[in-house]
A and B are shown apart, each in its own frame.
Chain A
């Protein structure tokens, strides 16, 4: 079945450092790929998405590129801020599916 694997956390960085959170997936066909963020005490918020190979999703300085050949969707940001501290989830939705399949999440902490 479909699955998503994220790099294990927690990840701790200093402000203005570069960020990469790895995400790989297993799915049949061409799924849509997502990154969601969960701030403390809040629900999940969509950060960015890509619906076909080579698409790049971007939002709030974060980027991720849909790589079909490596089945990956790594999240990147060039300069992180304290306000980026949260749990990040990679997820996929297969064509016609009614559900999102999530990775286990990566807790990110940014120190000033």
Chain B
């Protein structure tokens, strides 16, 4: 079975540009979350989506947006890129998104974004 897949694996952009990152969850999973991992730090929560609805949002500016499609895949968009947006962006999926219970969260390998 395929795990969580993310594309592209690496991306280089310049300041001020816009970027779209893509995520396909594990088959049957209806919830997708996005995390930002800056080098040397732990992942920071950006968004959670369930059944195409935003369920949670972290402390990120409005330049960050996301959506979930009917097939449960998801896109993360970042506008007006800043140097500080350089990070590994991780997507995670689960069946219902109830991560405090016995439901397991599965992570993709991430998209490494470099902003020059």
Contacts and interface: CB of A to CB of B under 8 A. Distances in A.
A100 B101 contact: no
Nearest to A30: B100
A43 B4 contact: yes
Interface string A51-77: 100000000000000000000000000
Interface of A: 4, 31-32, 36, 41-46, 51, 89, 91, 93-105
Interface in B39-96: 40-45, 48, 55-56, 58, 90, 92
B99 A103 contact: no
Tell me what chain A mostly uses at the interface: helix, strand, loop, or mixed: loop
A100 B43 contact: yes
A103 to B, nearest CB: 5
A93 B100 CA distance: 5
Contacts, number: 64
Contacts of B24: none
A95 to B, nearest CB: 5
Interface of B: 4, 33, 35, 40-45, 48, 55-56, 58, 90, 92, 97, 99-102, 104-105, 107-110
Contacts of B102: 51
Given A31-B100, A93-B100, A105-B42, A100 B109 contact: no
Contacts of A31: 100
A95 B98 CA distance: 9
A4 B42 CA distance: 10
A43 B88 CA distance: 10
Contacts of A91: 42
Contacts of A32: 99-101
Nearest to A105: B42
Contact of B42 (A45, A46, A89): A89
Contact of B33 (A42, A99, A101): A99
Contacts of A103: 42
A105 B55 CA distance: 26
21 contacts: A4-B42, A31-B100, A32-B100, A43-B4, A43-B90, A44-B43, A44-B92, A44-B107, A51-B101, A89-B43, A95-B100, A98-B97, A98-B99, A99-B33, A99-B56, A99-B99, A100-B35, A100-B43, A102-B43, A102-B44, A104-B41
